[in-house]
Amino acid sequence: MRKTGFICDESYFWHDAGSGVLYLPPGGFLQVEGSAESPENKRRFKNLMERSGLYDMLMLIKPFPATEEQLMYFHTKDYIQRVKEASEKGNVLVGSFAMVGKGSYEIAVLAAGGTITAVDAVVKGKCDNAYALTRPPGHHAQANQGNGYCIFNNAVIAAHYAQKELGLNKVMILDWDAHHGNGTEDAFYSDPNVLFVSIHQNELHPSSRGYIDHIGEGEGKGYNINIPLHPGTGDMGYLYAFEQIIIPVTNRYKPELIIVCAGQDANMFDPLARMMLSVDGYTKMTKIVRELAEVHCGGKLVMTHEGGYSNAYVPFCSHAIVEELLGVSMGISDPFITAFDGASYKILADHHKAKIDEARDLHVS
């Protein structure tokens, strides 16, 4: 059994992302309900680990808050101040679909710090790998504004921390959230010292981002890899993309640390995406990334939680990821998978393969 760090804090569940109907503000014919980015599926994930006994096997690590200097590794000083002021008032948008509730500044700072804490623990050898169950998420956040429920870009700040404060040179960020990691792409688009790979649903949020031909610029050209997938790609398509693109580009780059933006919204029950990944799919993707980390960087692998909006299914997908990080099986079968007997998630369809091959031909010689 490997030693897996787990970073979480009760305050993460207290961030108020505002009211909404899926991703729209309520009003008119839209009856008010909680935001899709609610704490419920994250708390249920933690609860499931406690119920199964997995939680007791983890190394619990208390997160430390990011400093303002660390936030400024990516974000502008003006934007940080704007989030502070919004947090004092509460219920203020700091970007598209990015609500700051009362007291959310301190929580977002601790979320960024939670991912830093995970990187610090893994790089310094306190644990083999780590999962940071942070909230609010981060991968859409841009330097001067929030976006898509994200306030500060947790993975970007943690990658900079690994380089500036821990002395690493080559970091890989793999984003398997169903939505493109536009903020993370912006941060490293001209930087050859961070390999950014985003595998996501084509033409989802944000619009006009995540295209195959967005490959970086200047010295960073070729170090930005987008793998947009057709809706319904499912387990076999994702695994084919890993085999054809993610494994070879990782082997070529040889990172010293791998950070995964672990958004579980590509799951087959998610209301904000249509990618059809199962619990087993997440297990196999995690196994591949863990083995790549073991080959190239002594197992230094950090997962930081991003999206995922099915309160019923996200906990099982995330639980399976942590099981694979630890190297244990708690004997929990997917309770929902029978609903998709005979569905196409276990088939590599020709049009899905063709889309992946297009990205492969560009990035893998």
Q: What confidence tens digit (pLDDT) does each residue in 286-302 have?
A: 999 999 999 999 999 99
Residue 100 and residue 271 in contact, taking contact as beta carbons nearer than 8 Å: no
Report how far residue 241's alpha carbon sits from residue 190's, in angstroms, rounded to the nearest whole number. Answer: 24
Residue 149 and residue 35 in contact, taking contact as beta carbons nearer than 8 Å: yes
Residue 46 and residue 133 in contact, taking contact as beta carbons nearer than 8 Å: yes
- Residue 245: phi and psi, rounded to 5, are -125, -55
Q: What is the mean pLDDT of the chain?
A: 96
| Domains of the chain (ranges, CATH numbers) | 4-363 (3.40.800.20)
- For the chain, strand residue ranges (E) read 4-7, 59-61, 92-93, 95-96, 99-100, 129-132, 146-147, 171-175, 194-201, 224-229, 257-262, 301-305
Q: What average pLDDT score do residues 235-246 get?
A: 98
Q: Hey, which residues are catalytic here?
A: 140
For residue 207, the model assigns a pLDDT of 86
The answer for residues whose C-beta is within 8 angstroms of residue 48's C-beta and 6 or more apart is: 54, 315, 316, 319
The band of 173, judged by pLDDT with boundaries at 50, 70 and 90, is: very high
The band of 341, judged by pLDDT with boundaries at 50, 70 and 90, is: confident
Six-digit token string for 90: 């509460």
Would the pLDDT of 365 be above 80? Answer: no
80: three-class secondary structure by DSSP = helix
CB half-sphere exposure, 265, CA atoms < 13 A:
24
The band of 340, judged by pLDDT with boundaries at 50, 70 and 90, is: confident
For residue 33, the model assigns a pLDDT of 86
Six-digit token string for 64: 């430390």
What is the pTM (predicted TM-score) of this model?
A: 0.97
The band of 23, judged by pLDDT with boundaries at 50, 70 and 90, is: confident
* Cis preceding linkage at 206, omega within 30: yes
User: Helices (DSSP H) in 166-278: which residue ranges?
Assistant: 182-188, 234-241, 247-253
Q: What average pLDDT score do residues 312-319 get?
A: 98
Dihedral-angle region of residue 245 (phi above 0 means left; psi in -120 to 50 means alpha; beta otherwise): alpha
Six-digit token string for 316: 């099982």
Residue 50 and residue 118 in contact, taking contact as beta carbons nearer than 8 Å: no
For residue 342, the model assigns a pLDDT of 79
Six-digit token string for 160: 């900079």
Q: What average pLDDT score do residues 127-154 get?
A: 98
